[in-house]
A and B are shown apart, each in its own frame.
Chain A
Amino acid sequence: MGFGAIGAAIGEGYTAASANEAIGRNPKLSGDIFKSMLVGQAIAESASIFALVIAMMLLFTKFPAHTLTPYVLIAAGLCMGLGAIGSGVGSGFPAGAACKGMARQPEVTGRLTTNMLIGSAVCQTPAIFSLVVSFILLFTDFSVRPVSPTWAAILGAGISSGLGAIGSGLGGGLVAEASCDGVARQPLTATPVTNVMLLGQAVTQTTAIYALLVSFILMFKSFPTTDLLAPPMALLAAGLCMGIGAIGPAIGEGFAGRSAVAWIARNQKHIADLTRVMLVGQAVAESTGIYSLVVALVLIFVV
């Protein structure tokens, strides 16, 4: 919950700052800008509301007394708290750009709101992945599994999805910000800009999906009982590896997507070149995320 609140607060703060800037530029439109600010903030807030729901459930549900229960509670809390950071901050970017864009080009308010909503919705997906993993952790009956190494698998699953969501939320937000900005500058390019935005955002989400995949494997695979320390550590390390490794590539892909979208808005003729270079650049940035996935899978299945 604490982590989740940080992200939402930063995202909403950014939106409010942009809204003020926009109202300053075009005071006549303050009503529209204010409305758009509130909608954008509501979306940024939703990630932290997910975190609040999980925190409330952790506090007020009666959980069965079992050795694994504390691990489940810690993992669910970490997963949702960390997972809300990126989506909260990321959703703030398109909302801020939309507010500024309305001040600049009041006629495209409707289109800007649509773009903002689509872009922020994609930013929220990693937070929703985290929510799903938290719910599965809370409602799965782990009592039939061996305590060791299941405790490490549970923690690893939570950490993987939680940390893995940070980068994708942020990266998706950067791309959406450029698209709102671009639509405001050149309303005629709205269609290609939205298409490339969705493409770029889809690539930034891939590492969050790897992290989700690793979490699912850790939660649903049954591991043989062990007395040793090494097997549980391998599972915990798999979660850490995929979770941390997903942050960088997603943010980097977000930078690439942001520039590509911004320049397609200015120079629509070169959409093919720009999309190609964006995808090639993103593919290279993705490689370290894939290395992390490989190492995580080796840790789970081979060693």
Chain B
Amino acid sequence: MAIEGVDIVKAAAFLGAGISMGLGAIGPGIGEGMAAAKACEAIGKNPKEAGLLTRTMLVGQAVSESTGIYSLVIALLLLFVV
């Protein structure tokens, strides 16, 4: 196997992209699930506020999603730019 510098860099970039997106998906997934869980609880207790609670849940989830999107951006950069 003729391994050269460019090849090693590419291989490392691919591995890095996979690990970045994989690990980066754990936190947002769990966090957004917690937000959804609390929204369900709150709607169960106070169904009249369902609209407000859903909106708050979505805003909160959008914020926690951001780190997942950072990971995606880094993964795509590693795949296509580096």
Q: Which A residues fall within an 8 A CB radius of B?
A: 148, 167, 227-230, 232-234, 236-256, 258-260, 262-264, 266-267, 269-270, 273-274, 277-278, 280-282, 284-289, 291-292, 294-296, 298-299, 302-303
In contact, A243 and B22 (Cβ under 8 angstroms)? yes
Whether A281 contacts B35 in the complex (CB less than 8 A), given A289-B25, A298-B79, comes out as: yes
Interface CB pairs A-B, < 8 A, 14: A228-B3, A236-B18, A237-B16, A240-B19, A251-B33, A252-B32, A281-B61, A284-B62, A286-B29, A287-B68, A288-B68, A291-B21, A291-B68, A299-B14
Q: Which residues of B contact A227 (CB under 8 A)?
A: 1-2
In contact, B43 and A274 (Cβ under 8 angstroms)? yes
Q: Which residues of B contact A260 (CB under 8 A)?
A: 37, 40
In contact, A233 and B12 (Cβ under 8 angstroms)? yes
CB distance from A252 to the nearest CB of B (A): 2
**What is the total of A-B residue contacts with beta carbons within 8 Å?**
210
Q: How far is the CA of A250 from the CA of B72 in the complex (A)?
A: 18
In contact, A282 and B36 (Cβ under 8 angstroms)? yes
Tell me if A's interface is mostly helix, strand, loop or mixed: helix
In contact, A244 and B7 (Cβ under 8 angstroms)? no
Q: Which residues of A contact B61 (CB under 8 A)?
A: 281, 284-285
In contact, B21 and A273 (Cβ under 8 angstroms)? no
Q: How far is the CA of A282 from the CA of B57 in the complex (A)?
A: 11
Report which of A241, A246, A248, A254 forms a contact with B18, defined as CB distance below 8 A.
Answer: A241
Report which of A233, A253, A266 forms a contact with B33, defined as CB distance below 8 A.
Answer: A253
What 0/1 readout, one digit per residue, does chain B (8-37) give for beta carbons within 8 Å of chain A?
101110111111011111111111111111
Q: Which residues of A contact B31 (CB under 8 A)?
A: 252
Q: How far is the CA of A189 from the CA of B51 in the complex (A)?
A: 25
User: Interface size (B, Cβ < 8 Å)?
Assistant: 55
In contact, A229 and B8 (Cβ under 8 angstroms)? yes
The residue among A167, A236, A281 with the most chain B CB atoms within 10 A of its own CB is: A281
CB distance from A53 to the nearest CB of B (A): 28
CB-based closest 3 A-B pairs? A252-B33, A281-B36, A237-B18
In contact, B32 and A292 (Cβ under 8 angstroms)? no
Which residues of B from 59 to 82 have beta carbons under 8 Å from A? 61-62, 65, 68-69, 71-72, 75-76, 79-80
Q: Which residues of A contact B33 (CB under 8 A)?
A: 249, 251-256, 281-282, 285
Q: How far is the CA of A251 from the CA of B33 in the complex (A)?
A: 7
In contact, B11 and A233 (Cβ under 8 angstroms)? yes
Whether A273 contacts B3 in the complex (CB less than 8 A), given A237-B17, A281-B57, A295-B17, comes out as: no
CB distance from B79 to the nearest CB of A (A): 6
Q: How far is the CA of A237 from the CA of B15 in the complex (A)?
A: 5
Q: How far is the CA of A227 from the CA of B3 in the complex (A)?
A: 8
Q: Which residues of A contact B7 (CB under 8 A)?
A: 228-230
Q: Which residues of B contact A244 (CB under 8 A)?
A: 19, 22-23, 25-26
Q: Which residues of A contact B35 (CB under 8 A)?
A: 281
CB distance from A225 to the nearest CB of B (A): 11
